[in-house]
Structure 1
């Protein structure tokens, strides 16, 4: 037997063991190769919200590290600010609302999403209980002030969409940025706003305290179906298209980590989630945080893949609340705003 034959036989003999190792640790090795950029700067707006939970899980459980990445996460007040970081060149990628990909196309600038975190919006509008009786519908919020994560963010767009259903214009109400987490609770308690458009756990905490009455709720898939007709893409990873074409292995590593986090959250116990996130994210009440997570779990993407109806539902939502989007609705190329390529590859290897 030649040395070549002996080598072939040894490789074949080792194959079952290699396959077992791949099944046992599916996310460690990837056929895509080593990331072109081992250090990635990621921008996010309001990381402590459950809206971005998959990002925190990928970070805290070492999924980014397993994929060969050192991810620096810069947390801004809201999604509009993290988008600015991307367009200004200080961030490589953003964890933010998918809707920004459509908005930027309307402005003539291309960005593209590639790994989904939320398949439901996960936001809600709550009115302060002492003013809630005055609000029978969206037309009644004229002249009121709302706390959003940051002006221009999806929390802002949800209020604009609701107001439009009542015949109001964007100038008929006002918004102020209150960030996420404890600052949201404070904005209601000190009565600096009449209502809030926010994500959990802040909303559930305010509900439990009797501080707000929920008037619009997208924290369940049922709520998303009623409001949008089905899945409504929320948080995702997005970037400028060049990042995907020039550093595809890096993009794949990011998608793999997020998909892994999405999958972990489908079966994790609420207590496991609460024990994984930074203690400050619990806002002083672990039990309420666990309850809030259990309530929104179904809106977390199970696989990072964009549902077929998602982009069209988002475009319709934006057009209803923004005349600028409505004017160019038929010209928006949704296929340019998203690719499932990276999430599908991550899922295939899972």
Structure 2
């Protein structure tokens, strides 16, 4: 199914999520402004988000930020459109899919969190030095069609002279939540994994990371805080404060070690091995995954469009000016 097609199925999920998520509150009462954030998944990939809450950077701005994990780009966007959450943390491509459907109340990207793809190429039986040509005629366990991980992966493979639909056996019929389990059970010679799963598999001896799709696909607004245009118009002060709190966290993450970041965000990963969380953060910091400021620049946006066009998921060129608002990011940075 084309990426644009699954947005036509949003009506029922919107109604359902409106009911389910409306009951997800923490019962706190204060003078702070409540902001409900829906994240596409729980991941160390989003370390600045957790730092912003744990270090009190949102609280300093008078915001009571509640994080809900809405498990999947389609579900996260459905929750945002239904009004069950105020702000979504999800791939920027989701806002483009909504825009391409002619939304009367478009979703606006206003603060970037990650600026590279977050997946790594993991090989089951890597012998000797890795070369991208080794993927030819292999079985590759990929991600969902139309999602940023798969599109960035295809973009990177194309740059290495590999057509994922002709040169290898591409498996895309496994849900995101079950990809790691499928590989562990023997499916695929290679798999596209986020951290900390890649580090966990390395520790378990299931293979090793041989390349980074984030490095190969370049800078792009991979994960962004976004909200409906109507919410921005009605809550400009809140969006400004939210962006300022995020930027404080981005600066803190940039200036502190992986060990220090891991210590702060461990409450969000209570069942995880602290050493794995630390090594995962270090891998992301080393390749410049975490954005150091909330600005979504033109070059990054154009690279995103190129990635989507390569995957056949771009219905029309969508200029950044249509669904990107850097005013809040620029104001926050200029007022420091």
TM-score by length of 1: 0.73
State the alpha-carbon separation in 2 of the partners of residues 189 and 64 from structure 1: 39
| 1:314 aligned residue | 304
Query: Judging changes above 3 Å, is the alpha-carbon distance between structure 1 residues 193 and 255 closer, same or farther for their aligned structure 2 residues?
Result: farther
Identify the residue that residue 304 of structure 1 maps to in structure 2.
Answer: 294
Picking from 39, 42, 46, the partner of 1:52 is: 46
Ranges in structure 1 where 5+ consecutive residues have no aligned partner? 1-35
Q: Return the alpha-carbon distance in structure 2 between the equivalents of residues 281 and 348 of structure 1.
A: 34
1:253 aligns with 2:275: no
- Give the alignment partner of residue 339 of structure 1, picking from 309, 325, 329: 325
Q: Secondary structure at the match of 1:309?
A: helix
Q: Give the Å deviation of 1:260.
A: 1.0
Distance 1:212 1:341, change over 3 A: farther
TM-score normalised over the length of structure 2:
0.76
Mapped partners of 1:88, 1:192: distance in 2: 37
Secondary structure in 2 aligned to 1:316?
A: helix
8 Å Cα contact 2:123-2:209 kept in structure 1: yes
Aligned-residue CA RMSD (Å): 3.2
Partners of 1:158 and 1:308 lie apart in 2 by: 18
Q: Does 1:43 align with 2:29?
A: no
Tell me whether 1:188 sits opposite 2:183 in the alignment: yes
- Number of the residue aligned with 2:137: 140
In structure 2, relative to structure 1, the CA distance for the partners of 1:156 and 1:68 (3 Å cut) is same
Q: Does 1:270 align with 2:264?
A: no
Shift of 1:208: 4.0
* Alpha-carbon distance in 1 for matches of 2:207, 2:101: 36
Of residues 251-260 and 158-167 in structure 1, the stretch that sits farther from structure 2 once superposed is 158-167
5 Å matches for 1:94-113?
A: 94-109=88-103, 110-113=106-109
Structure 2 Cα separation of the partners of residues 227 and 178 of structure 1? 20
The answer to which structure has the higher helix fraction is 1
Q: Any idea what SS the aligned residue of 2:291 has?
A: coil
Structure 1 residues 76 and 197, CA gap change in structure 2 (3 angstroms): farther
CA contact (8 A) 1:270 1:290 kept: yes
Alignment partner, residue 334 of structure 2: 348
Shift of 1:125: 3.2
The superposition leaves residues 68-123 of structure 1 with CA deviations (integer Å, 9 ceiling, x where unpaired) of: 11222110222332122112321111011122222322222321111111122222
What secondary structure is seen at the aligned counterpart in 1 of 2:174?
A: strand
Counterparts of 1:338 and 1:85, CA distance in 2: 20
Q: Tell me what 2:199 maps to.
A: 204
How many correspondences in the alignment? 297
Secondary structure, counterpart of 2:114 in structure 1: coil
| 1:311-343 superposed Cα distances (whole Å, 9 cap, x missing partner) | 000000110012x41x52xx4222112121111
The structure whose Rg is larger is: 1
Q: CA 1:257 to 1:88, structure 2 compared with 1: closer, same or farther past 3 Å?
A: same
Counterpart Cα distance in 1 of 2:137 and 2:156: 11
Whether the aligned pair in 2 keeps the contact of 1:131 and 1:194 (CA below 8 Å) is no
Residue 63 (structure 2) aligned to one of 63, 69, 74: 69
Summarize deviations over 1:49-78 as a string: whole Å, max 9, x none: 222111111111122221111222110222
Aligned to 1:114: 110
Deviation at 1:161, TM superposition (A): 4.0
Matches of 2:324 and 2:134 in 1, distance apart?
A: 34
